[in-house]
Amino acid sequence: MKRWWMMFLALATAACQPFAAGAAGLVKSNHSRQAGADLPVVQAQAEQNNAFAFALYRQWDRQGNLIFSPYSISTALAMAYGGARGQTAAEMAQVAGFGEPQSFHPAMNGLDAQLAGRIYDADGKRIREMRLDVANALWGQKDAAFQAEFLDLLAEQYGAGIYTVDYRADPEKARQAINDWVSDRTEKRIADLLPPGSVQTDTRLVLANAIYFYAPWMDAFEKDRTAPAPFYLLDGSTVEAQTMQRQGRYAYLLQDGLTVVRIPYQGGNLAMLVMMPAEGQMQAFEAQLDANQFSALQSQLQMGEARLYLPRFEFSSAASVKQMLQALGMQVAFENEADFSGITGAPDLKISDVIHKAFVSCSEKGTEAAAATGITFVETSAMMPEEPVDLRFDHPFLFAIYDIPTGQILFLGRVNNPTK
């Protein structure tokens, strides 16, 4: 635990005030990052986060491929929730599954610490090549006053401070600085998170979370076995997809046309769960899939020998999440009546947008995925068989990259056409 907790040490300050501006324009608390909640509390919060993940999934466009990080969105909203008050906080808690602040923020902090430890094996040795990096940061107007309590929360529970920029004088320079930070922390997989025009002279605060993931499979696919195979699209047409093949022991489920398999990454704590409903049942399956069923599917998996056929895929997604959150019931946070007085001491900020971008690449060696979320604020006005079974993912399917011990979904997506 001590080994990976070093990455969470808060930035120090020589000032004796509750907070101070650093040499690089960083306003930060002088409080150290806390240890966070224990695993049972973390698991309970992860279940709430996953419920929010599937609610968000159903808000997304169903036509093409999709990748997003519900964990990134939850973490970004969690920091905003730290400054929310009244009805604004109540709606955020209801929609996103956030609890009382005094227990919720330590739970999110503990979840972050749990995930940081996944790059080590059971003996505490670094797993070669595996990466799971999560970073948080905020950018505030340079002459704004930030509440000491909010800065303490950022430092203690999220390892973050507020960089000072001048939106009034040069919003484009601020936008570039934020995008550069995101790009650096996602190995350049997420570029231009904030599009032109998203940061303007009335912007006062931008809050960002970035996550980068790379993990090799526990058992890699052999490249020379990858070959073209038919993949049947939702409209009835067929494409030829480069399909990976491997025989081995997997935890899987075959039930009423539904095919589910868990493909573990090195270390055994992280895995991809691939879920393919029967042909013609994709819409119905998406409509009823939630956190409870996600857990139930895992409990029904049984180990067995299988021949796995999985298409390679690589794509990215980008969207404003604002209307999705509004549709789920988070309204006041985007209106002039919003109360984020916990940030500045006055109810003078509202969220103008929540922007999310994500990337995924699934190959013979493993999976790479990255995502970032930016929140901009403006001022208000079955039995094991004897013989191998075939697990052939040859029509649209869903996938989730998740942490087995906590249950937290890191990335959630859909493959409608692996050749796109």
Q: Tell me what pLDDT residue 20 has.
A: 40
Domain harbouring 143, CATH code? 3.30.497.10
Q: Tell me what pLDDT residue 383 has.
A: 42
Please tell me what DSSP assigns to residue 322. Answer: H
Domain harbouring 304, CATH code? 2.30.39.10
216 is written with which tokens? Answer: 């090799």
Per-residue pLDDT averaged across 353-379, rounded? Answer: 97
116 with 263, same domain? Answer: no
Distance CA 6, CA 126 (A): 14
Domain span including residue 163: 2-38+68-214+315-379
192 with 236, same domain? Answer: no
pLDDT band at 6 (very low <50, low <70, confident <90, very high): very low
In this prediction the pTM is: 0.91
102 with 74, same domain? Answer: yes
131 with 31, same domain? Answer: yes
Would residue 58 count as lying in a domain? no
346 with 206, same domain? Answer: yes
Q: Tell me what pLDDT residue 420 has.
A: 85
What angle do the packed helices 148-158 and 70-81 form, to 10 degrees? 150
Please write the tens of the pLDDT for every residue from 140-172: 999 889 999 999 999 999 999 999 999 999 999
Chain length of the chain: 420
Would residue 45 count as lying in a domain? no
Structural domains of the chain, count: 2
**Residue 6: strand pairing partners:** none
Would residue 238 count as lying in a domain? yes
210 with 221, same domain? Answer: no
198 with 109, same domain? Answer: yes
Per-residue pLDDT averaged across 264-273, rounded? Answer: 96
Would residue 52 count as lying in a domain? no
Per-residue pLDDT averaged across 93-105, rounded? Answer: 97
**CA distances to 22, 30, 146 from 381, in Å:** 32, 33, 20
Measured from the Cβ of residue 142, the count of other Cβ atoms closer than 10 Å reads: 16
Q: How far is CA 14 from the centre of its chain?
A: 34
- Specify the higher pLDDT residue, 273 or 19: 273
Q: Are 210 and 189 in contact (CB under 8 A)?
A: no
CB proximity list for 6: less than 8 A, separation 6 or greater: none
167 with 259, same domain? Answer: no
Measured from the Cβ of residue 23, the count of other Cβ atoms closer than 10 Å reads: 5
Would residue 48 count as lying in a domain? no
Per-residue pLDDT averaged across 4-23, rounded? Answer: 34
Distance CA 94, CA 73 (A): 15
Amino acid at 184: D
Distance CA 360, CA 362 (A): 7
Distance CA 353, CA 67 (A): 19
Give the torsion sign (CA, 167, 189, 27, 150): positive
Q: How far is CA 75 from the centre of its chain?
A: 8
Of 136-150, 252-266, 385-399, least confident by mean pLDDT is: 385-399
- Least Cα distance to 396 among 277, 243, 271 occurs for 277
162 with 225, same domain? Answer: no
Would residue 357 count as lying in a domain? yes
Would residue 59 count as lying in a domain? no
Please tell me what DSSP assigns to residue 37. Answer: -
244 is written with which tokens? Answer: 């990976």
Per-residue pLDDT averaged across 262-271, rounded? Answer: 96
Q: Are 84 and 340 in contact (CB under 8 A)?
A: yes
CA torsion, points 399, 359, 161, 204, in degrees to nearest 10? -110
Would residue 63 count as lying in a domain? no
296 with 334, same domain? Answer: no
**Burial grade of 143 (CB within 10 A; 0-12, 13-18, 19 or more):** exposed
Distance CA 384, CA 301 (A): 10
96 with 199, same domain? Answer: yes
370 with 293, same domain? Answer: no
The most distant pair of C-alpha atoms in the chain lies apart, rounded to whole Å, by 70
